[in-house]
Amino acid sequence: MKKSDQYHKWVEWSDEDNAYIGKCPDLITGIHGDDPKKVYADLCEVIEEVIAHFESEGRSLPAPKVKPMQEVV
């Protein structure tokens, strides 16, 4: 498992921004674009870069806190 896999990432439409927003709140505030698949791919790439930066600086990664919503039955 890659280190980035432990962090929850998602893309959602924003009426306010009129764009898709990619989020990973444990590591970055977000990115945006017109194509949800491209936004998700870019988000994953940015997360890998953030992790590489933390490691190059000798800093510990923050613990993942954001979890996907679970369906209530």
H helical segments located in the chain: 36-56
Who has greater pLDDT, 24 or 68?
24
Instruction: Give the pLDDT score at 40.
Output: 98
- Interacting residues of 33 by C-beta distance below 8 A, sequence separation 6+: 19, 20, 22, 39, 42
**How would you classify the pairing of strands 28-33 and 19-24?**
antiparallel
| Residue of 14, 19, 6 lying closest to 67 (CA atoms) | 6
Give me 29's structure tokens. Answer: 């505030």
Segments making up each domain of the chain, as ranges: 3-56
Model confidence over 38-51: pLDDT tens digits? 999 999 999 999 99
Classify 3-56 by CATH class: alpha beta
